[in-house]
Structure 1
Amino acid sequence: MTTNWPELTTELSADLRTLRGGAPVVMKAFSAIAQAALAPKALDAKTKELLALGISVAVRCDDCIAFHIKAAVAQGATREEVLETLGMAIYMGAGPSVMYASHALGAFDQFAGAKDAAE
């Protein structure tokens, strides 16, 4: 089965809106953590998204992979940067990370292709 990663992020975004409505205080706090963590300081936004991608692969979270690949593409990440990030995730997560790295690469190809088509 092939995942349509852009479609997955659209579906998940709808689910997250519902969650925000049902747990607004918790979700507002989570959003504040995300904004603080992603704020460019010593590391730029692209580097932080690549870090988040590597962690997503290592912890085996397809939903996280989808959102962080989308954000990495939006920040200008190249296929080579994604592959190097996936190499680190594989190193840190062993065999299961190899499988999730293939998911992340498929997601990158779909989002990068959609971005190229839009330009």
Structure 2
Amino acid sequence: MSSFDHPTLIQNISQSMGALRKAQPEAMQGFGQLAKAAMAGGAISEKHKELIALAIGITQHCSGCIGFHVKALRRLGCTRQELEEMLAVTVYMGGGPGLMYASEALTAWDAFAPAAEAQA
């Protein structure tokens, strides 16, 4: 079980990046533009791109990535079943370490549950 509080983790990361945005505005704007262009819907939907990004974040062992992409998937209407199927592929490709971070992604999924779902 993950010891991360993903909502707080991504809030802290966002706040910490403020100093970098001030120090390196062009680089940070460039990264933001790259992210926006890469994640825009096209032949592959935004939701599917977020699933891919989450799989990469898991295999790269990035807890912040897990938090940001799970939150985006919730916003995009991803179902738990879609998430779990993607996690199975991630574990297949990433082995034991992938399994540990897949578990973390499920914890993040629950942490970002809408209030009505969390009470059910």
Listed one character per residue, the Cα deviations across residues 28-65 of structure 1 (whole Å, up to 9, x for unaligned) are 11111101101100011111111111111111110100
Counterparts of 1:1-119 in structure 2, within 5 Å, are 2-114=3-115, 116=117
Q: How many residue pairs get matched?
A: 117
One-letter amino acid of the structure 2 residue matched with residue 59 of structure 1 = Q
User: What SS does the corresponding residue of 2:112 show, helix, strand or coil?
Assistant: helix
One-letter amino acid of the structure 2 residue matched with residue 96 of structure 1 = P
Q: Percent of pairs identical after alignment?
A: 43
Alignment partners' CA distance in 1, 2:116 and 2:98? 26
Listed one character per residue, the Cα deviations across residues 59-83 of structure 1 (whole Å, up to 9, x for unaligned) are 1110100000000101011111111
Alignment partners' CA distance in 1, 2:61 and 2:41? 26
Contact 1:54 1:85 in 2 (8 A): yes
Structure 2 gaps of 5+ residues are none
Alignment partners' CA distance in 1, 2:55 and 2:14? 21
RMSD: 1.5
User: What SS does the corresponding residue of 1:64 show, helix, strand or coil?
Assistant: helix
One-letter amino acid of the structure 2 residue matched with residue 103 of structure 1 = E
Alignment partners' CA distance in 2, 1:115 and 1:71? 18
Q: TM (normalized to structure 1)?
A: 0.91
User: What SS does the corresponding residue of 1:102 show, helix, strand or coil?
Assistant: helix
User: What SS does the corresponding residue of 1:28 show, helix, strand or coil?
Assistant: helix
Runs of 4 or more, structure 1, over 3 Å off, are 113-117
User: What SS does the corresponding residue of 1:65 show, helix, strand or coil?
Assistant: helix
CA-CA distance at 1:104 after TM superposition = 0.5
Structure 1 gaps of 5+ residues are none
User: What SS does the corresponding residue of 1:112 show, helix, strand or coil?
Assistant: coil
